[in-house]
Structure 1
Amino acid sequence: MKKKLVLALALALPTLAGGSGFATDRTFDVAARLTQGPGNVTVTSGGRIIISQHQFYEPKASVVELRADGITSPFPNLEANDREHPRSLSLDSVLGLRSDNGVVWLLDNGMRSGVTPKLVAWDTTTNQLSRVIYLPPPIAPKDAFVNDFTIDGRHKKIFIADPAGGANAALIVVDIATGAARRVLEGHRSVVPENVDLAIDGRPIQVKGANGQLVTPHIGVNPITEDLENEWVYFGPMHGLSLYRVKAEDLTNESIDAPTLASRVERYSAKPICDGITIDKDNNIYLGNLAENAIGVIKSDRSYQQLAKSDQLSWVDSFSFGPDGRLYAVVNQLHRSAALNGGENVAKAPYFLVEVRALAAGLAGR
């Protein structure tokens, strides 16, 4: 499975344990030390911390819950289901996670086993499978790598970032009620990667291709979030120095043709190369500055501010607010994984869940 996944990445990307303590600069806390490399994180309105385990590290469980004692356990807990109301669920490669009104949405890209990508909704109140929405071609093409997403409760939509093979990167709009999906903005400048390379600690990110040659990946749209009023969707290519936005109303309007929708996308601000992002109630956008081992924020005046910098912040991937206004992020050393380090895995535990000093509170689960 590992060989198949790395090969898929090589073809796509070029085109395109518990414990806590204060960090030395006291701008973030290490909330938990993890023995398995995390992918994304979401925190429910009840304070449950759900973490996907990154497929690059071939975890046994695709998703886990971080318990209060610092131990992780597989999520969802299928054994706790009522035997009179069985619900089958198979998860392959979950990265994207978001929580909304007691429902945890899991985005399974299916890349480890080559299965159809899908959105899975798990109701944490009843501990049962709520629904599954499949994303077959051409919604998610063969080179799709559906990853981050955001939930729009006002328009009842989910917006997914798909970097795909780079040139065909796009956003996917999913109707929560019907499961119908559309692929939009494919190939637009706001989603395709720019010709910028990523190096961390003086070492370039490299993928081993099918022919054994090392190539430098350029990854398309990945970071995506939406303001708390469900007015603007913010997104951009991972390998890109610009953040863009478009109105959610335009993304959800099926009567708008592709050229018109493209014309309504605006460049919002500069940004560093980053992975996941989130936003607070004052429209400050938080991100990991990968090249600098740092966490930064694009403030509401569109200026950039560095919040924290530390060797501990080695590939800050995903963010989520909790119900108490706390902002969490996962740190996974992804550039040291075999997939992004020329086939050699040099990542070592511990990996981290960190708590960031946010400028303002946000929405739990986002």
Structure 2
Amino acid sequence: MVCACSHTYTQWESGKDVATTLEVVAQLDKGPGNITVTPAGKIVVSLHQFYGHDLRIASIDDNGQLIPFATAANVNSVLGLQADAEGVVWLLDNAMRGGTTRRLVGWDASEERLVVDIDLTEVTTDQSFLNDLAVDPVRNTVYIADPASGADAAIIVVDTVRSVARRVLQGHKSVIPEDIELVIDGSPVRILADDGSEIRPRTGINPIAIDKGGEWLYYGPMHGRSMYRIRTAGLRNAELAHDDLAVKAERWSDKPICDGISIDNAGNVYLGDLANNAIGVIGSDRKYRVLISDPRLSWVDAFSFGDSGFLYAVVNQLHRSAVLNGGESATKPPYLIVKFRPQSGGAIGR
């Protein structure tokens, strides 16, 4: 294990400077995707498909080494993953490595066995890219962010007991991207098309998380300046028509372009401020503030609460990958797993 600390300061409403310490938990030679921490304290990461690793999912041992995880689940390509209070790690298989079946998989980390396997084919499109998820084990429901191609972005609601899924809010303003560009360290994110031209991507819903009580789902487009929320009761109501559900979505706050998010027990929403190499927070006052600014925070992709009240995060330099850097890789390992003290505690795994 390799650890390091840095101190950064942010000005809060009290007018006093608050020091926040960023600790490096592990330095990885393979680019991670998302992260979760099990109730037993095991750190589990997905390996980002943009880096083409053979390893799909791994736990991180005390020496910072990657150990294959849930290999018997036979997943094709996973980004989103989240552990629940019972120790089940939910894996979102987006089948983007040439697979045919998009799935939601539940893996019991203590017994090392598959407990849930739900086929999501009927609620996805040809353009679907199942990216992240929010798990509510109390209500046996998982909410999935599908940015798809942008205009057809949607939320997928899965009943994990009945193995039934529905696609909702497709094309709604709260899930589709805005026409804004992501520029990091002076360089725009760009994709090299098959014809040799460059595309400046616009990505729909990506950040997604539920609050402590599972009452509200917070979400928004990655390329967007607005965070939204909607009551989960409405999402679970299969009788609601699209328009009736759509009016229940409310704009919650401003936000920067961001990837994954997490929410603490006090309702603070944490996110990676991609353009500014920072971690920010939206407080209960609905105002966005930078919490930690550090040049090492090169694309903060995902968060998870762990033991002792720490919030863990993945730093994976995704904008420097060949996929998002015009076909040329400019990454400089190591990739980082970091942790810091949030404003309040949160549910382990989320």
Question: TM-score, length-normalised on structure 1?
Answer: 0.91
Question: How many residues end up aligned between the 2 structures?
Answer: 338
Q: Which residue of 2 aligns with 1:11?
A: none
Deviation at 1:27, TM superposition (A): 2.7
Q: Percent identity among equivalent residues?
A: 49
Q: Which residue of 2 aligns with 1:115?
A: 100
Asked if 1:230 is matched to 2:214, the reply is yes
Superposition map of 1:206-285 within 5 A? 206-285=190-269
Asked if 1:52 is matched to 2:37, the reply is no
CA distance in 1, matches of 2:53, 2:286: 38
Asked if 1:21 is matched to 2:15, the reply is no
Asked if 1:133 is matched to 2:128, the reply is no
Three-state SS of the structure 1 residue aligned to 2:73 is coil
Deviation at 1:201, TM superposition (A): 0.2
User: Does the Cα contact within 8 Å between 1:331 and 1:351 map onto a contact in 2?
Assistant: yes
Q: Which residue of 1 aligns with 2:294?
A: 310
Deviation at 1:24, TM superposition (A): 4.6
Q: Which residue of 1 aligns with 2:14?
A: none
Task: Decide which of 42, 57, 69 is 2:36's aligned counterpart.
Answer: 42
Deviation at 1:126, TM superposition (A): 1.2
Q: Which residue of 1 aligns with 2:336?
A: 352
Letter in 1 for 2:2: G
Letter in 1 for 2:303: F
Deviation at 1:116, TM superposition (A): 1.6
Deviation at 1:114, TM superposition (A): 3.7
Three-state SS of the structure 1 residue aligned to 2:303 is strand
User: Does the Cα contact within 8 Å between 1:117 and 1:135 map onto a contact in 2?
Assistant: yes
Letter in 1 for 2:118: I
Deviation at 1:357, TM superposition (A): 2.1
User: Does the Cα contact within 8 Å between 1:297 and 1:307 map onto a contact in 2?
Assistant: yes
Three-state SS of the structure 2 residue aligned to 1:239 is coil
Superposition map of 1:93-172 within 5 A? 93-100=77-84, 101-137=86-122, 139-172=123-156
User: Does the Cα contact within 8 Å between 2:190 and 2:198 map onto a contact in 1?
Assistant: yes
Q: Which residue of 1 aligns with 2:16?
A: none
CA distance in 2, matches of 1:122, 1:313: 30
Q: Which residue of 2 aligns with 1:13?
A: none
| Greater fraction strand | 2
Task: Decide which of 66, 69, 74 is 2:63's aligned counterpart.
Answer: 69
Letter in 1 for 2:110: T
User: Does the Cα contact within 8 Å between 1:27 and 1:307 map onto a contact in 2?
Assistant: no
User: Does the Cα contact within 8 Å between 1:169 and 1:186 map onto a contact in 2?
Assistant: yes
C-alpha root-mean-square deviation of aligned residues, in Å? 1.0
Stretches of structure 1 lacking an aligned partner (at least 5 in a row): 1-17, 79-87
Task: Decide which of 25, 29, 40 is 1:31's aligned counterpart.
Answer: 25
Letter in 2 for 1:236: G
Letter in 1 for 2:52: E
CA distance in 1, matches of 2:281, 2:93: 28
CA distance in 1, matches of 2:124, 2:331: 30
Report Cα offsets for 1:162-208 as digits up to 9, x if no partner.
Answer: 00000000000000101110000000000000011000000000011
Three-state SS of the structure 1 residue aligned to 2:309 is coil
CA distance in 2, matches of 1:205, 1:64: 28
Three-state SS of the structure 2 residue aligned to 1:195 is coil
CA distance in 2, matches of 1:255, 1:65: 40
Report Cα offsets for 1:288-322 as digits up to 9, x if no partner.
Answer: 00000000000111111111111100000000001
CA distance in 2, matches of 1:173, 1:185: 10
User: Does the Cα contact within 8 Å between 1:37 and 1:53 map onto a contact in 2?
Assistant: yes
Letter in 2 for 1:207: I
Spell out structure 1 runs of 4+ moving beyond 6 A: none
Stretches of structure 2 lacking an aligned partner (at least 5 in a row): 9-19
CA distance in 1, matches of 2:312, 2:342: 9
Asked if 1:203 is matched to 2:197, the reply is no
Q: Which residue of 2 aligns with 1:188?
A: 172
